[in-house]
Structure 1
Amino acid sequence: MIRRIRLSHWRAYETLNLELSRPVTFFVAPNGVGKTSLVEAVRWGLLGTPPARRLGQAVRVGHESATVCLDLVLADTEVQLTRSVKRSGAARFAAEANGTAIDEEAYTELLRRAWGADPGLLDALVFGVGAKGEATGFPIKDHLADVFGITPMLQAAKAINTRRSELAVKIKTLRDDLSGTDEAIASLTETVSRLDTEVSGIADQRQAAEALAHRLEPAATLAQAWSDYRQNARAFDEQVRRLVARMAGSIDLGDQDPRAAIANSERAASSELESSLAATSAAEVRAARAASAAEVLASATDQCPTCLRPLTPAEREAAASAHGGVDHAAHAEIEQRVRDTAQARERLIAITGFRDALNALHTPTEPVGDDPGAEAVTELAEARRRLSDLAERHGDAAARLGAAKSELVRLRQAARDQSTLIAAAREDMVMEVSEKTIHKLADRYLTDYVEPIAHEVGRRWKLVFGTDGLHFGADGNLTIPHGDATLTVGDLSGGERSTALLVTRLLLAGSVARASTVCFDEPLEHLDPRRRAAVAQTLVSAVQAGTVGQILITTYEERLARRLASAAPDVVELTYAATDSA
């Protein structure tokens, strides 16, 4: 139970110190003064919901932080807890249990054990969060499943559902290919056999064609060599003929072989060049001697330069004239010999060039063996053409055989997949039955427990509205029949919805869980005066009957609250909002 609520700088409250001394407390204030802010503070302090990062705006203007302090009694443990939040959303938690500091995890576990439910379910039962507006369900199924040991059954059902989802994907995939029929497989098997035979036959023909081409290749190679030889020989003879035609002006070939004629002419030209060079040298010697003698005779001497005998003037003149003639003749011969030498050298160079040109021509070598004839080349070409055609046919047939084998593998896999499909479909059917059976069994256990609660929900609904129809199911949802349709609480009017949720929360808080405190924010809104009084009395009666231990109600209905407090002063307390009070 909550003994005291203290707020500091929380929304509309500068400070608030509210002591809850009665089981039922009506917190009265006009709209817009801070009733809902009080409930939000209690919710955050008790459960830490919503997360602090969303509560930065709860800090009162002009302050940096807000604080919520609660004094609680959980079973036999007294707890003082404090939560504070800054504008940035940073939060702090502190708590003591019977004077000993505890962390938030230990506090949450203490609350769960004392009130018999997890914080999520307590949030829905104590504060109604998630059960207003369109949301009308209470998350009790998992809670009751844990209480009654049904959770393993539900987990098994969940595992089955997961397996069924996997099977659904597998079945859909397998149904995409139903081509693996016996007829299709038999037909394609025959095709594969025929193509296999065709490929083998072509392979044998190809092997024979390769052997034939191998046998024909030596003869064709020799025939081609003879053909090349003849062509090269003709080319050689033509080159020799052209060279001989060029030599005709320089060499007298006659009936000689060109190489012999060139050798003879080269020797003759070389000899002629040597003779011309020797004759030129001899003429140069004679000219030098004549010039020397003439030079001596021209000097003042009375002796012969050769025999040293005395010379008369007439003899000296005659000797000088003779030596002068010799010198002239020698120089004339030298000029002639120089011309002859140049011609001999040019002729020798030309003959040497012919020799080099002839040597550069290589005489074709005659092939070894008799010429098989051009037919050998033709036969080999035909054999190779056939071999190429067979290779192409073999490749095409092998490709068709490969494709047929791949398709046969696919069809056989499709046939196996169809068997797998049948097995998967059977497994899915079995699992579907198992899943439904488990859910029915679990729902039966839950229904047996929830049925008294559902009966009481319907009874209290009738007390307020005078009609039957509100139904509370084992799944935690409220429904109401309307003609041929079934409406959820979200389809009802505001007053009907508020009443249905209020009654259900009261019953669940004390039966499904052990929550000793329940908070209602404006539960009397949207109700006419008669039903408003009935609902308010229901809240007080719930405490008096021990359904819950404590109820905190915010309302603007001061007169009604005062009347109830006067009627049951030991149970009902009336307090007023004072947002600026200390």
Structure 2
Amino acid sequence: MIRNLILKNWRSYEDASIGFKPGTTFVVASNGIGKTSLVEAVRWALFGKIEGNGHAAVRVGAEVATAEVELELPDGKVLSVERSIDPKVRGIPGPTVRSDGHTLTDEDFGRRLNDAYRTDPAFLAGLTMPGLGRDPAAPTTLGLAEHLGRYYGIDGLKGAADRLGVLLKETQAGIRRIKVGNAATAKQLEELRETLEDAAGKVSVAVTKHEILQARLVRAQERERFESALHRWQESRDAWAEGAAELARTASREIGRDVPVEDVEDTVEHHVGDLTQQLETVRVEIGVSQSSLSTLTGNDARLSAAHDDCPVCRRPLDEAAIEAAHQANQQEIELVRSSIQELEAKAGTLGAQRDRLVAVREAWRKLPRPGERPTPPEDEDEQVASALLAAKVAEAFEIVVKARTAHARAEEKLAEAEGADQAMRDLGRLFRREAVLTVAVNTTTATLNNLLAETVLPLAGEVNQRWKTLFPGRGDVATDASGDMTRSIQGHSLPFGSFSTGESMGATILIRLLAAQMATKADFCWFDEPLEHLDPDVRRRVANILSRATSGEGQLRQVVVTTYEEQLARHLRARDEERIHLIDVRPAT
């Protein structure tokens, strides 16, 4: 049972600690004060279940809301279970569970609940702490049949029935697939094999034609490359011949005789050497003449400086002799100067001629040679443009693709036909398996249903007895193993969905209370506003049932009911102050 609930920043509760006692506790207050928030907080702390993402439970202005529950197990041990809501954290956080100073993992906590209450936490949550709101969930949503199977150890039959059902559905699906498929007869298979063989032949022919055309295309492209190279070679050769002829004419003009094209380089080289030698000879003669000129110029200067004696032989000289010597010396100087000028002119002519021939030689050496004539490819094909052959190759390739596609489809159809033919042979085996599985499913399901019906009989009987007390004169109520309930009216069965609000609320309370006591070890059960919108007589009867639920010999120790029917709650409290308690929730709480 729940001993204490501690809330921090949970909706209207900033910091609250609320204790709960054994017996029936009515939590009373007006609408909107925070009764339902208490049920919501306990459900969140114990089971991690809340409407939506739970962010609305965080108090305005706070960042995190926390709910902590002190849970006393049937064996007397106490667990402290705390769980928070942080809008910044995605997913459902695990609880912080402490027992005797030790912290339990989420898995250990689940096992403790399962062992203590003889049911799994999911069923325990739906049974003892249902969802919020006045409209009760149908009893079928509790998962009663699954719980009874586990509680009485017959859930293995349910698993077996489910597995057999899956096998049966798979077998029936296989039968339907085979039936809707086309069964291939021996004749159809032979036709498909012939079609496949014909498709293979067409693929071979198409591939061969494509390969032949591809080879022709390669040869045609080689031929066109040769023709292009030959054209470039011819242009290069013509350009070389024209340049060579022009250089030969230039060399002929410089040398003074015709120079054949094939002899241009050797002839020019020879004449460049000869001109170089002649130029060196002329330069030597110029040097000798310049030396003689210098000597004569020096002698003339010494003669001018002499007065009476000859500067050479020291003989006495008169004026006439000196003048005659000057004239003779000047004549020789003029002759030497004239010779130097002629030699320099000759050197200039020889140098210019040599430079022109050197230019011819360099131009000859730089003249691009055409190289070897391209070798034609060996080609005996008909002369067809490569562009035309390329189009034929592309067309042949499309034919290959279509032929291969047809061949693949023929293979696929033959494989499908062979599979279908084999499947038809297997159809008999599948029919036999279906029959066996149908018998197995029906037998197992019938056994399970019989066992569940037997297990639910005591519960159903108790529910019916309580129903008659709660709603006298409204016929019997039947409860099956799934929790579904029907009411008998003049020989007809009224489904649960057609029950009135009071009837559905009363039936849900009965089945939850009785299932908790008869099919689990649960010792607490909480209800959120079960009395509201019921007519007065039904409200009093439902309140009486809830107030006396913990007074029997069963293990149920605590019932908590939220309501704003405060007057009724106080009346019940006055009748039994020891077992019935009142918690008055106010805004200051």
- Fold conserved (TM > 0.5)? yes
**Of residues 151, 155, 170 in structure 1, which corresponds to 2:159?**
155
Distance 2:130 2:365 in 1: 121
1:475 equivalenced with 2:471 (yes/no): no
Q: CA deviation at 1:121?
A: 5.3
Q: CA deviation at 1:477?
A: 1.9
Percentage identity across aligned positions? 18
What is the correspondence of 1:174-193 to structure 2 with a 5 Å cutoff?
A: 187=195, 190-193=198-201
Aligned to 2:340: 334
Distance 2:485 2:443 in 1: 24
Aligned to 2:499: 492
Q: Is the contact between residue 216 and residue 381 of structure 2 (CA under 8 Å) also seen in structure 1?
A: no
Comparing 432-441 and 159-168, the one that deviates more: 159-168
Comparing 446-455 and 110-119, the one that deviates more: 110-119
**Of residues 199, 202, 227 in structure 2, which corresponds to 1:194?**
202
1:349 equivalenced with 2:350 (yes/no): no
The structure-2 alpha-carbon separation of the partners of 1:269 and 1:473, relative to structure 1 and needing over 3 Å to count, comes to closer
TM-score by length of 1: 0.62
Distance 2:272 2:539 in 1: 149
What is the correspondence of 1:12-23 to structure 2 with a 5 Å cutoff?
A: none
The structure-2 alpha-carbon separation of the partners of 1:142 and 1:328, relative to structure 1 and needing over 3 Å to count, comes to closer
Distance 1:264 1:113 in 2: 122
The structure-2 alpha-carbon separation of the partners of 1:95 and 1:482, relative to structure 1 and needing over 3 Å to count, comes to farther
Q: CA deviation at 1:87?
A: 11
Amino acid at match of 2:257: L
Q: CA deviation at 1:575?
A: 5.7
Distance 2:273 2:558 in 1: 147
Amino acid at match of 1:195: V
**Of residues 122, 135, 140 in structure 2, which corresponds to 1:133?**
135
Comparing 232-241 and 509-518, the one that deviates more: 509-518
Q: Is the contact between residue 70 and residue 81 of structure 1 (CA under 8 Å) also seen in structure 2?
A: yes
**Of residues 403, 416, 423 in structure 1, which corresponds to 2:405?**
403
Q: Is the contact between residue 183 and residue 417 of structure 2 (CA under 8 Å) also seen in structure 1?
A: yes
Distance 2:234 2:530 in 1: 124
The structure-2 alpha-carbon separation of the partners of 1:466 and 1:563, relative to structure 1 and needing over 3 Å to count, comes to farther
The Cα offsets for residues 243-285 of structure 1, whole Å up to 9 and x where unpaired, read as 3443455332158886486577657755654564455455445
SS in 2 for 1:479: strand
SS in 1 for 2:482: coil
Q: Is the contact between residue 198 and residue 397 of structure 1 (CA under 8 Å) also seen in structure 2?
A: yes
SS in 1 for 2:487: strand
Q: Is the contact between residue 524 and residue 535 of structure 1 (CA under 8 Å) also seen in structure 2?
A: yes
Q: CA deviation at 1:446?
A: 0.9
What is the correspondence of 1:164-183 to structure 2 with a 5 Å cutoff?
A: none
Amino acid at match of 1:382: Q
Q: CA deviation at 1:475?
A: 0.8
Aligned residues: 541
The structure-2 alpha-carbon separation of the partners of 1:439 and 1:132, relative to structure 1 and needing over 3 Å to count, comes to farther
The Cα offsets for residues 93-122 of structure 1, whole Å up to 9 and x where unpaired, read as 7689xxxx9999999989977876566656
Amino acid at match of 1:399: V
The structure-2 alpha-carbon separation of the partners of 1:129 and 1:432, relative to structure 1 and needing over 3 Å to count, comes to farther
The structure-2 alpha-carbon separation of the partners of 1:406 and 1:536, relative to structure 1 and needing over 3 Å to count, comes to same
What is the correspondence of 1:220-239 to structure 2 with a 5 Å cutoff?
A: 234-239=238-243
The structure-2 alpha-carbon separation of the partners of 1:561 and 1:396, relative to structure 1 and needing over 3 Å to count, comes to closer
SS in 2 for 1:465: coil
Aligned to 2:255: 251
Distance 1:319 1:309 in 2: 13
Q: Is the contact between residue 72 and residue 79 of structure 2 (CA under 8 Å) also seen in structure 1?
A: no
Distance 2:274 2:555 in 1: 150
Aligned to 2:473: 466
Amino acid at match of 1:251: I
The structure-2 alpha-carbon separation of the partners of 1:394 and 1:297, relative to structure 1 and needing over 3 Å to count, comes to same
Q: CA deviation at 1:151?
A: 0.9
Distance 2:327 2:174 in 1: 139
Q: Is the contact between residue 460 and residue 480 of structure 2 (CA under 8 Å) also seen in structure 1?
A: yes
Distance 1:148 1:27 in 2: 32
Distance 1:314 1:103 in 2: 153
The Cα offsets for residues 351-406 of structure 1, whole Å up to 9 and x where unpaired, read as 44344445655887887xxx99x9x8885783894986775566444434443454
The structure-2 alpha-carbon separation of the partners of 1:289 and 1:488, relative to structure 1 and needing over 3 Å to count, comes to same
Aligned to 2:383: 382
**Of residues 512, 530, 534 in structure 1, which corresponds to 2:519?**
512
Distance 1:284 1:30 in 2: 145
Amino acid at match of 2:447: L
The structure-2 alpha-carbon separation of the partners of 1:353 and 1:444, relative to structure 1 and needing over 3 Å to count, comes to same
Amino acid at match of 1:190: D
Aligned to 1:442: 448
The structure-2 alpha-carbon separation of the partners of 1:332 and 1:493, relative to structure 1 and needing over 3 Å to count, comes to same
Q: Is the contact between residue 302 and residue 312 of structure 1 (CA under 8 Å) also seen in structure 2?
A: yes
Amino acid at match of 2:487: I
Q: CA deviation at 1:578?
A: 8.2
Gaps of 5+ in 2: 60-65, 87-94
Amino acid at match of 1:328: E
Q: Is the contact between residue 127 and residue 525 of structure 2 (CA under 8 Å) also seen in structure 1?
A: yes
State the structure with more CA Rg.
Answer: 1
Distance 1:28 1:318 in 2: 168
TM-score by length of 2: 0.62
Aligned to 1:61: none
The structure-2 alpha-carbon separation of the partners of 1:175 and 1:188, relative to structure 1 and needing over 3 Å to count, comes to farther
Distance 2:46 2:172 in 1: 42
SS in 1 for 2:383: helix
The Cα offsets for residues 450-502 of structure 1, whole Å up to 9 and x where unpaired, read as 34543554455456432335221111122236799965445422332344345
Distance 1:86 1:223 in 2: 87
**Of residues 226, 239, 246 in structure 2, which corresponds to 1:242?**
246
1:318 equivalenced with 2:324 (yes/no): yes
Comparing 317-326 and 267-276, the one that deviates more: 267-276
Distance 1:271 1:537 in 2: 147
